Each structure stands twice: as structure tokens, then as C-alpha cells.
Amino acid sequence: MHIDYISIDWSKIQDDSYLTRIPSICLLQKLRFRKPVTFFVGENGSGKSTLLEAIAIAYGFNPEGGTLNYRFSTHDDYSELCNAITIGRGIHASNYGFFLRAESFYNVSTKAIEYEEGWGPMYGDKTLHEQSHGESFLNFIKTFDFEGIFLMDEPEAALSPNRQLELFSRIAKMAKDGAQYIIVTHSPILLAIPDADIIGFDDSGMHYLEYEQTDSYKITEAFINRRDVMVNSLVE
């Protein structure tokens, strides 16, 4: 593992911080990463992205995303949780990686275009802004080093189901070759990556789930197999 574990010192968080009122993480003291791919799942607002962001910043990534070398800021709105997190790095921890935030990828693309100057195109024949969101994201991923650490917040946001399958294949192959992923997702496609840990966030805390126990799977399966019943219940 590039990140072996994280620990949180809650004495560094203000008592009245909203972080102390997030049930899924407020009692978390230490989290060990056991697999090359770890998914965070749960409802919107359950704390998944808050924890991922804090891990990324504590590791050294720019809060808005990018590689460890990116340094820019358009709007600082990250939580204080990063200041309380200690990263336990693995023996083979890499200095290469990427932090993806779907909502700020446009800004990351802008910086990537600036960094390309003098080097020639690195992300396909067109600049990232001349490509669709999904195309630019996948072309960006294709440049990733196989032994890095990759933190991704809802990478499926810009991708069609077919493109999600491409991302599935890329993650699975890179994980076998030494990469580590921590991913927040609602995608039942990505969650099916073999031998991944899935950690659920809810009002009872954080807990490991099987693929079939995730809401992403259960709701998708129910809709596909009982579409008429579910549609009728939604439009009545």
C-alpha cells in the first residue's frame, strides 16, 4: 500500500465543528487500507467526500485536485479535518499520484494545458478543453503512472456506462501493477472491480460491505428487474 492507514486526532478539531456531527466519521480513530482498491459508498452528505478530501490534502495534494505538483486555488472551502489526519505511508509509498474532484476538473484541465506548453500535446490530439468532459478525463487517466496513489471523488460523473467500463479496466490493471486507489462512487459498474474493499458510510458509522449489500447495486438491480413497478410507484 502507498497509504497503509490514516489516523485522526480529534483534539485538533474544534468542539463545535460540523465534523463532530457527521455520524459516519466522528468516531473514527484509525482506518487501515487492506486492498489496492478501496471504495467509499453511502448517501449524499454521509461524509465520504469530506474524508477523501482530507486524506488527499494530508498526503500533499492540491485541495482542488491534480498531481502532487499542482498548486493553484480558485476557492478554498475544504474542512479542517486534513489538519487532524496522520498518513501512515507504506514502505513503497509513491511520490506520484492524482487527486480527482469531478467539480474542479475544469480548473485542473486549465493548469494541465499551461503545463503542456513547450512539451507538446500530452492528452490526445486536442487540448483537454477541446474534448468532452468524459474524453478529457479518460485521456488524462491514460497518462497515469502504474505505481502511484490515486484518490477519486465520483469519477463516473462525466462518463457514460461504456466509458465507465473503460475506467473499470484501467483501474483493475493498474491496481495489479502497483497502483492504489481510494474512490468515492455511486457507480454499480466500478464497485464490481474484483478484490476491492467497499466501506459504507451511514448514521451507524463506517463498515465493510459486500457488493450486493450496496445501495448502488440494490437499487439498480431492483429498477432493472422490476422497472414497471418502480416507475409506477414514482409517478403516482
Q: Are 52 and 201 in contact (CB under 8 A)?
A: no
* Sequence-separated (6 or more) residues with CB below 8 Å from residue 52: 40, 151, 153, 182, 184
CATH of domain 3-106+146-211: 3.40.50.300
- State what percent of residues in the chain have pLDDT above 90: 62
Residue 172's nearest CA partner among 136, 146, 151, 154 is 146
Record the pTM: 0.85
Q: How confident is the model at residue 76 (pLDDT cuts 50, 70, 90)?
A: low
How far from each other are the two terminal CA atoms of the chain, in whole angstroms? Answer: 50
Give the mean pLDDT of 86-90.
94
pLDDT in tens, 115-156: 554 434 455 555 555 555 567 777 777 777 678 999 999 989
pLDDT in tens, 15-44: 999 999 999 999 999 999 999 999 999 999
pLDDT in tens, 144-200: 767 899 999 998 987 889 989 999 999 999 999 999 999 999 999 999 999 999 999
